[in-house]
Amino acid sequence: MATIAAQPFSVGEFLADEREKDLLRFSTAGSVDDGKSTLIGRLLYDTQSVYEDQVRSIEGKGTTAPGQIDFALLTDGLRAEREQGITIDVAYRYFSTPRRKFIIADTPGHEQYTRNMATGASTADAAVVLIDASKGVLIQSRRHAYIASLLRVRHVLVAVNKMDLIGYDEAAFRAIELDFTSVLNQIAADTGSPVEVRFVPVSALAGDNIVHRSDAMPWYMGSSLLELLESLPSALETRSAPFRFPVQRVLRPDHTFRGFAGQVASGTVRPGDKITVLPSGRSAQIARIVTFDGDLNEAIAPQSVTLVLDRELDISRGDLIVSTQAQATVARRIQAALVWMDARPLARNRRYLFKHTSQTVPAFVSSLEHRTNIGTLAHEAAETLEMNGIGVVNIDLLRPIALDLYGENRSTGAFILIDAESNSTVAAGMITAASSPAASTSGPVTAEERAARWGHRGGVLELTGPVELIDRIERSLFVRGAITSRIEVDAEFGISSSTIEHLIRSKILSGMVVLIVYLVAGETLTAQADGEQITLNASEPVAAIAAVNELLARSGILLSSGNADWEI
């Protein structure tokens, strides 16, 4: 085993240099054959970021010629991936050069992994897009560039790989450069987010222009891929952006101290600064910036600090503290680009949880503007988004929130949607427009306004069972403020009149919970809402009432379940 190296080496100098290093996050995407894993393996290996035991564990395995190391095996971590020779999930890699530390979000390139690409791009300052020189610009390169632009990754480095296979031919490289530049221009026109692009001819297998500049391509006068990564500005444009601070937690260790813990999302803050708390709109001044290591006279994004104000304001988790001079928008209706990530497609009028900064608000997708075809960049009419689909939608929020457009702020303009029933993360969203329709005081009363006031939407609950239990169920809804309308129907005849059907539809449109009741004595109760039917034991009324309330919450009629885990 090693002992300290004998060469003159000053650990003190090393540590001083390390203290100055910053961090750059970049994403990669690629398919089975375009050499992405080889490129990353090469970056790690050539910067001495892989240990010998890790190389030993893969030596002699894989698909390369005997004696060669299959760099892809360094990066494909899951058994299924090694067995199938593919990359199925985002993997994070770390390496360091004397100038900078790097985090790679390494993602697969196939269409079915669009969501993984978006995940990797969401935190990236730069994207390395791979093009196989022997094949030219394929759909996966377009897809990766599109996602990078959509997620506002500023810098795109295009690695034109496998130059060795085409005899290091400059003309072929220039043709790809021209072709892909026009693709990038079309993409920027669609997403409204231009990228800064550099093209590098490389061979990951041979190591050309990855870490060191290659002699094989004297016609290329530019930097190696790693040199470019070392010199890109990291994303600290946020320092000069307007101050944004989502409150994560109120710290109140005793009655003398009340501070608001959070991470500076953008901008700079100093004691004495005038701030406004949104959505309430109350203002105060910063009194102190508190940390474990002592008070600061300035905090910048993305530091985690605790703010103390000069006066007592009612502030809680989810509030956004902003600079009074440059405030954020408070809105209840937004338009957003969505990347759909769940096997269950987007359903309009299904209840989702909108998670934005440090708050979660129930929300509905009211309509789709279009779906984007990444291949053609065409905007297609669509009723839904399937897994890996990308489109623009309108979303109604059940409570106003303070936000910025994603184009202006990657932190306060981003959100995820969570399915309230399955708890899956179903979509990533980027806010493109915002408005506040609920503030209107004229015109027809909208379904959203009713839902916001009553805590439920219009719908039908069919109940068949004993009268005592049905009375108690109705009371449980009444107690929580629901507007119900009860229609008792003779079980023998049912609802036969079109007039009654019309009446029921009108009540639903008026936002009421219509109870269609069939009185039947006995030990069971059946309840039905939104096509789902449950049968319950009427001799256990408490459980039955809870189950019916949960059914209403699942169906999207009630906007919070009985044991409310969020507040409307």
Partner 1 sequence: MPVAEILSPPSPPARASASERLSHLRLLEAESIHILREVASEFERPVMLYSIGKDSSVMLRLAQKAFSPAPIPFPLLHVDTGFKFAEMISFRDAMARSVGAELLVWRNETAIAAGTNPIALDTKRCCGLLKTQALLDALRHYNFDAAFGGARRDEEKSRAKERIYSFRDSAGQWDPKNQRPELWNLYNARVHPGESIRVFPLSNWTEMDVWQYIHEENIPVVDLYFAKERPMYVRGDALLPIEQAFVARLGEQPQMVKSRLRSLGCSPCTGAIRSEAETIPAIIAELLSFRSSERANRVIDHDQEGSMEIKKREGYF
Of the two residues 429 and 458, which places its CB atom closer to partner 1 in the complex?
Answer: 429
Of the two residues 131 and 547, which places its CB atom closer to partner 1 in the complex?
Answer: 547
Rounded Cα gap, residues 553 and 444, in angstroms: 26
The CA R_g of the chain, rounded to the nearest whole Å, is 29
Rounded Cα gap, residues 518 and 531, in angstroms: 17
SS3 13: helix
Of the two residues 116 and 276, which places its CB atom closer to partner 1 in the complex?
Answer: 116
Beta carbons of 353 and 76 less than 8 angstroms apart: no
Rounded Cα gap, residues 246 and 319, in angstroms: 6
Q: At closest approach, how far in Å is the CB of 56 from partner 1? A: 9
Of the two residues 329 and 388, which places its CB atom closer to partner 1 in the complex?
Answer: 388
SS3 66: coil
Q: At closest approach, how far in Å is the CB of 510 from partner 1? A: 32
Question: Rounded to the nearest 5°, which phi and psi values hold at 371?
Answer: -110, 145
Report which DSSP code applies to 289: E
Of the two residues 412 and 555, which places its CB atom closer to partner 1 in the complex?
Answer: 412
Q: 549: burial class by Cβ within 10 Å (0-12, 13-18, 19+)?
A: buried
**For residues 255-283, b (16+ Cβ closer than 10 Å) or e, as one string?**
eeebbbbbbbbbbbbebebebbbbbeeee
SS3 299: strand
Q: At closest approach, how far in Å is the CB of 140 from partner 1? A: 19
Of the two residues 355 and 472, which places its CB atom closer to partner 1 in the complex?
Answer: 355
Q: Report the run of H or E that residue 396 belongs to, with start and end.
A: strand 390-403
Q: At closest approach, how far in Å is the CB of 292 from partner 1? A: 4
Rounded Cα gap, residues 554 and 560, in angstroms: 9
Q: At closest approach, how far in Å is the CB of 213 from partner 1? A: 26
Q: At closest approach, how far in Å is the CB of 290 from partner 1? A: 7
Of the two residues 84 and 373, which places its CB atom closer to partner 1 in the complex?
Answer: 84
- Structure tokens, 554: 């699942």
Of the two residues 201 and 246, which places its CB atom closer to partner 1 in the complex?
Answer: 246
Q: At closest approach, how far in Å is the CB of 225 from partner 1? A: 20
Q: Left, alpha or beta for 35 (phi > 0: left; psi -120 to 50: alpha)?
A: left
Of the two residues 185 and 231, which places its CB atom closer to partner 1 in the complex?
Answer: 231
Q: 417: burial class by Cβ within 10 Å (0-12, 13-18, 19+)?
A: buried
Q: At closest approach, how far in Å is the CB of 112 from partner 1? A: 13
SS3 484: strand
- What is the C-alpha end-to-end distance of the chain, expressed in Å? 61
